[in-house]
Amino acid sequence: MPSYRSLLAQKASLDRKIQQARKREVSSVIKQINGLIEEYGLTPDELTFSDGTARPQQAKAKRGRRTVGAKSATAGITVAPKYRDPETGKTWTGRGRAPKWVVGDKEQYLIK
């Protein structure tokens, strides 16, 4: 019967292999999904996520005067992502501080 330590070593080895396999496969899956989206001309409003909810449409900004303490007209508006990490699939809108995975030329991460 294997010892506790040897089982932990096997588990660590398997965890590394799982991470590496996921990293390899995620990139090709994202390319495949993007190809299908382009092929069928799907829009963000037609896509749903694992929780079954549809992607929220951008709220229309209200025009008018701001009062003291009121939120800006654009508060709460979601922005479509412009950049995607090919390894993990994480996205960034291009607003605010750049995530750590954006290294060098941002053009290589543009979503096409």
Give the pLDDT confidence of 73-106 residue by residue, as tens digits: 677 778 889 999 888 889 999 888 999 999 888 8
Q: Would you list the domain boundaries of the chain?
A: 4-109
Half-sphere exposure of 63 (CA within 13 A, CB side): 0
The pTM assigned to this predicted structure is 0.36
Which run of H or of E encompasses 8? helix 4-40
- Burial string for 30-67 (b: 16+ CB within 10 Å, else e) reads beeeeeeeeeeeeeeeeeeeeeeeeeeeeeeeeeeeee
Instruction: Report the half-sphere exposure of 98 (CA within 13 A, side-chain side).
Output: 12
Using one digit for the tens of pLDDT, what is the confidence trace for 20-73? 999 889 988 999 999 999 998 988 888 877 665 555 554 444 455 555 666 666
